[in-house]
Amino acid sequence: MTKMLSPVEAPARREHTPPSVRSSIVDCALYIDGERQPGTWHYAEALAAARREKQRHAFVWLGLHEPGAAEMADIAETYGLHELAVEDAVKAEQRPKLEQFGEVSSLVLRTARYVGEGELTETSEVVETGQVMLLIGPAFVITVRHGDACRLTPVRADLESKHDLLAQGPWSVAYAVTDRVVDLYVEVADQVEVDLDLLEAEVFGRHSHGRIQRIYQMKRELVEFKRAVMPLQRPLITLTAQVNRDVPKEIRRYFRDVQDHLTRTVEQINSYDDLLNSVLQARLAQVTVDQNNDMRKIAAWAAIAAVWTAIAGIYGMNFTHMPELTWTYGYPVVLALMLSISLGLYRFFRKNGWL
């Protein structure tokens, strides 16, 4: 007689998705006491197995990438998700926030990565952003990723090697993902600092040629990065608060380390913003000075040309009684006079820095 295996012992089979429909499921795993259970699991059967094994700290980690509304609706019905949380998961247009829907916590993170293209130009994009949403329940955690700024496969692999941490339950996944997102913030901030140093050197160099368009482009990228980082401070304060009983005490300690890294990044961004404003103001001042110098040069050359125009204009009036009209050397004398006055004006303007 063949022995019947329990749902936890026997790997469940994923339902086949029709070829015309692209599944957004990247991975679905069942964890018991910090260990990943073998086999390929369908998310409904994995959840049922986790609830049966709740005494052994069992939970499901379902990873999604840009899910469609229909597939997300089926997952929401299975896991009992609120419709507002489902809407936020499908539309990647949310600010970092932490919300509670009954027993399910919704944590939205904005992801960022540096995608420098060599030399900074007026149109280069140096910061790419995306979104990761985590839906954390008593026996499951669902991660919904939009964009490629932060891939979660390395996070899962790293966390699966830390059994003690993974045994803390779904909030251990929330910590690992948040930690990875904030680590990327730190990397982006360091790379942006390098770009700012190069931009500053160009603006304040001996032969300044930094274009204002490049400074504005850097300012726009920094603003986008700032929008991803700054709002995350409030959710982390809530997650690390002593009164928060949803997050295990040990995981709150890990979140405090993430909060320290985020605080450092926020301070860096604020300093970069101030520096970029100073660079922009300095470049605008340089442009104004350059324009004034150009106007002085134009005025100086116009004054020199006016001498020739004035004298030639007088002799072009064709009056009968004009001085020096009958002189043999009148023509070369007048030319020499105009040349002498022009050279005198040139030396005068040159001495005063107009030319």
Residues 242-272: pLDDT tens digits? 777 788 889 999 999 999 999 999 999 999 9
Q: State how far the alpha carbon of 185 is from the alpha carbons of 123, 134, 142, in Å.
A: 22, 18, 22
Q: What is the pTM of this model?
A: 0.75
Structure tokens at 119: 């030399």
What amino acid occupies position 306? A
Question: Which three-class secondary structure state does DSSP give residue 128?
Answer: strand
Are the beta carbons of 32 and 8 closer than 8 angstroms?
A: yes
Which of 30, 24, 28, 26 is CA-nearest to residue 53?
Answer: 30
Within 215-282, strands assigned E span: none
* Domain(s) of CATH 1.20.58.340: residues in the chain: 293-351
pLDDT in tens, 292-309: 777 878 877 887 788 777
Looking at residue 242, what DSSP letter applies? T
Average pLDDT, integer, range 100-117: 89
Stretch(es) of the chain classified as CATH 3.30.460.20: 25-286
CATH no. for 293-351: 1.20.58.340
CATH of domain 25-286: 3.30.460.20
